[in-house]
């Protein structure tokens, strides 16, 4: 039984949620508008300031989709009201980041700089303070897009387990390994 799917989503003030024909949820709020298509088996109802999801049967597929679409819609509502933010740290000697608009220029210890174009839906900022690791911040209303871009940036140089060098999420706990032991 899906416990997540049963929970109702409360619609905050200033946000409108509509369900178009074809089971497309449209969420409009102060920060923008997001759309999500929903499987035709899952029924979506907007009533009394809440969004309610119901499934036709207790099949495994329906139970999976029930909780999935409820969670996605909750993220849409949160995105258009508050937005999402992800911070990435560049750990390593000589690692730098700068941006001009949505073009991100990364120096990650390779022989050349990596120029990464961030989608226009996201806002990117870089900060580099003395004595601190450079930080790349991604902000936007679409949680899925932010997560995808952050994962792509992290994959450019994943943190290695011995010294921890690489691109990591801020606050991420890395699994460290002990190096070789010296001598006799």
d(CA 111, CA 53): 52
Return mean pLDDT, the chain. 92
Residue at token pair 């009201």: 81
pLDDT-derived band at 183 (thresholds 50, 70, 90) equals low
* Domains along the chain with CATH numbers: 3-81 (3.90.930.12), 84-169 (3.90.930.12)
pTM of structure: 0.89
d(CA 37, CA 19): 9
> What tens digit of pLDDT does each residue of 52-96 get?
999 999 999 999 999 999 999 999 999 999 999 999 999 999 999
pLDDT-derived band at 184 (thresholds 50, 70, 90) equals low
Hey, which residues does 52 pair with through a beta bridge?
Answer: 45
Asked if 75 contacts 87 with a C-beta cutoff of 8 angstroms, the reply is no
Q: Three-class SS of residue 174?
A: coil
For residue 1, the model assigns a pLDDT of 46
d(CA 135, CA 148): 18
> What tens digit of pLDDT does each residue of 149-170 get?
999 999 999 999 999 999 999 9
Q: Do strands 50-54 and 9-10 pair parallel, antiparallel, or not at all (unpaired)?
A: antiparallel
């Amino acid at each position: 039984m899906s416990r997540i799917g049963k929970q109702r989503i409360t619609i905050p003030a200033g946000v409108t949620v509509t369900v178009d024909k074809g089971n497309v949820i449209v969420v409009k709020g102060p920060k923008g508008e997001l759309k999500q298509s929903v499987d035709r088996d899952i029924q979506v109802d907007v009533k009394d300031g809440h969004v309610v999801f119901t499934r036709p049967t207790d099949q495994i597929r329906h139970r999976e989709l029930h909780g999935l679409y409820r969670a996605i819609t909750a993220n849409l509502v949160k995105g258009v009201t508050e937005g999402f933010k992800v911070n990435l740290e560049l750990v390593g000697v000589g690692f730098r980041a700068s941006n001009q608009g949505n073009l991100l220029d990364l120096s990650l210890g390779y022989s050349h700089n990596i120029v990464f174009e961030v989608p226009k839906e996201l806002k990117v900022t870089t900060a580099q303070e003395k004595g601190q690791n450079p930080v790349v911040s991604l902000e936007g209303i679409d949680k899925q897009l932010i997560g995808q871009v952050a994962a792509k940036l992290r994959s450019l140089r994943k943190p290695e387990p011995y010294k921890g060098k690489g691109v990591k999420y801020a606050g991420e706990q890395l699994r460290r390994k002990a190096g070789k032991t010296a001598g006799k």
